A and B are shown apart, each in its own frame.
Chain A
Amino acid sequence: MVTQQEAGPRTVPGPALPRPHARRNAAYPYGLYLPAAVVYLVIFLVPTAMAFYFALTRWTLFDSTFVGLDNFRDFFAEQNLRAGFANTLVYAVLTSGLKVVFGLLLGVLLTSRLRLRGFLRSVVFFPVLVSTVAVGITFSALLRPDTGLVDKTLAVVGIDGPDWLGDAGTALLSVALVDVWKGVGLATVIYIAGIMSIPRDYYQAVAVDGGGAWHRFRHVTLPLSWPATYSVIILSLIGGLRSFDLIWTMTRGGPGFTSDTIASIIYKQYQAGFFGLSTAGNVILFVVVTAVVVPLNRFLAKRQVTS
C-alpha cells in the first residue's frame, strides 16, 4: 500500500522530492518542543544558572554585592550548617535503603497467591497519595512521648519509649521512618511490576531442581528484579536528598539543629533574609545530588547490563 502510493508522483516530472529522511523528520517538527522548552528554560534553567552567580554575592533580591566564596565558607564554618550536610546524606541513604528492603519484601508478598492481595496493595499504596504535611502532622501526634500511640503501645510490653522527635539522637531517624512509611507504597508498586515481568519458566526450573521458596527468592526474584531495585534506589535517593516538607512539618530541623538538612537550611536562611547564603545552600545541594546520583546511576546501569 504505502510503496504504491509513494511511487505515484515520482513518475511525474517536476521539482525533486525532498529526501525521504528529511521528509520523515518534517512530520516531527521541533516546534512541538517549543511550549515545554520555553517554560522549562525561563522558569527552571535561568534561575539554576543564576544561582551560581548569586551564591557568590550578598544579596537582597534587588542589590547584590560580589563577595566571592564567603557564603560557602560561612556554610561550612558554622557547625549547624555542616551538620545539615551530614544529615542530608544519612537521611537519603537510610530512607532509600529501607525502601529497597521493605519494598522488595512487600513486593514479594503482594505478588504471592494471597487472597487479600488486591486490598493490601491498595492499603500500602494509599499513603503515597496523601499530602506529606498531613502525614507529618499525624505522625508527630502519634510519636509524642507518653500520650502518643507508639509510646503507649511500647509501654504495654514494658518498654519506656523515647521522645522520638524531641530527642536529638532519634529525631532524624524518626522522620526517616515516617518517610519510609509514606513512600514504601511506590517502591512496592515498582517491585510488583518488576517481579511480575519475570518469566514463569525460571521458577519452574528451580522447582525441577528441587529448590524451595528461599531458592526461588535468592536465585530468581532477587537478581531478576534488579531493574526495579535500580529505579527504587535512584528515585528515593533523589527524593531523600531534596527532602524538606516532612522534616519541616515534624521537627523544623530541631531539636536544636540536629535534624536540619540542606533543604531546611535553605528555607531558614531564606526566611532570615540571607538570600545569598540560601542560594549557596542551593548550589551545595545541587552539587551533592549530582555527585551522588550521576555516578551511582552510571554504576547501576552498568550492573544492569551485565546481570
Chain B
Amino acid sequence: MESDRELVENEDIEVELVLDALLKKSDYDYRNYSRSHIKRRLSHRLTVSGYNRYSDMIPDIIYNPQFLNKLLSDLSINVTEMFRDPSFFLELKDKIFPYIKTYPFVKIWHAGCSSGQEVYSMAILLSEDNLYEKSQIYATDFNREILDVAKRAIYPIDTIKKYTNNYQQGGGQNSFADYYIADYDSAAIIPSLKKNVLFSFHNLVTDGIFGEMHVIVCRNVLIYFDKELQNSVLKLFYESLVPGGFLCLGSKESIRFSEVEKLFEVVSSSEKIFRKRVC
C-alpha cells in the first residue's frame, strides 16, 4: 500500500508524462502551468473517459485525434465578457487615457485576448474619448480557433444584458446598443470598432517581444501559469513596453512575487495597473 505522499508523487510523475506527450503531439506546452489547475482538468477528462490512471491517457493522446482535441479544449479556459470588472475600465479612463491623449499615436497589446470581448471594450472607450483613430490595437492569443471567434466578433444575444450593465458601470457614455447589430440569437460588433485591431497568433510561452507598446492588457491570463512562467512573461511585457508604458493585469494578479516588481511603479493597486519606470 503506497503512502499518501507516494501516491501524490506517483501521480505527479504521470501528469508530467502526460504533459510531455501532449507537447510532443500538439506543440501545446502546459508544463509550466499551475499544476493544481492542470491536474484538475486532466482528472476531469480521466473521470469522463473511465480511465484509472493519468498515464492511461498517453496512448489516446498519441493515436486518437478526437481525444486529443477534447483534452486540449479541457485545458483551454476562455472566461471573458465585455467590460469584465467594470471598475478596471473606470480606472483605465481615469489613469491611463490622460497620457494617451498626449501621444501622437498609441500602440496597445491585448495579450491572451481570448474571444475578443475585452479588445472591443477597449475600442469602445477609446472611440468615446476620440482616441481610437490614433490607436493601433494588437490582439494576440495562442489558440487559433478562439482568435477566429474574436475576429468574427459575433456573441450570443443572451450575453448582451450583462455586457450592457458592465458597459454602463465601466464608464460608457453612450448607449451600448450603438455598438452591435442584433440578429435572432446573436449580436455582431459593428465593423468600425474592428478597423484598428490586428488579431494575430502569439504564444506567451515561446514567442518573443512585441515591441514599443504604450499599453499592455493581460488580464486573467497569468493566473494559469506557475511562478516561473509568470516571471518570464512579465519580463517579456517589461521588454515590450516603452518607458512609461502601462501594464494592466487581472484584479487578483500581482507582480509582488516576481523579479520585475521593482521595475514598475503602481498606478492603481486595486485594479492592478502598473507603469514601467523611466529610469
A interacts with B: no
Q: What is B's interface to A at a CB cutoff of 8 Å?
A: none
Q: What is A's interface to B at a CB cutoff of 8 Å?
A: none
